[in-house]
Amino acid sequence: MPVAAVVSSPLDRCRETARAIVERQAVAPPSSVEDEITECDYGRWQGRRLDDLAKEDLWRTVQSHPSAVVFPGGESMTGMQARAVAAIRRHDAEIEAEHGPGAVWVAVSHGDIIKSVLADALGMHLDMFQRLEAGPASVSIVSYGAIRPRVLAINTDSGDLSWLAAGVRAGDAAVGGGAGAPAAEAAAPRIVT
Q: How many domains does the chain have?
A: 1
* 173 assigned to some structural domain: no
The residue segments making up the domain with residue 56 are 5-166
The confidence score (pLDDT) of residue 158 equals 77
pLDDT tens, residue by residue, 84-128: 999 999 999 999 999 988 899 999 999 999 999 999 999 999 999
- Cα–Cα distances in Å, from 86 out to 89, 117, 151, 178, 184? 5, 9, 17, 31, 22
Q: What is the pLDDT of residues 172-193, one digit of tens each?
A: 544 554 444 444 444 445 666 6
Q: Is residue 179 part of a domain?
A: no
Domain presence at residue 68: yes
CA 142 to CA 155: how far, in whole Å?
12
Q: Is residue 134 part of a domain?
A: yes
Does the residue 172 lie in any domain? Answer: no
Which pTM was predicted? 0.87
Residue 160 in domain:
yes
**CATH classification of the domain holding 122:** 3.40.50.1240
Residue 183 lies in a domain: no
With a cut of 50, say whether residue 149 has pLDDT above it: yes
Among residues 94, 88, 93, 105, the alpha carbon closest in space to that of 38 is found at 88
Q: Is residue 193 part of a domain?
A: no
pLDDT for 189: 56
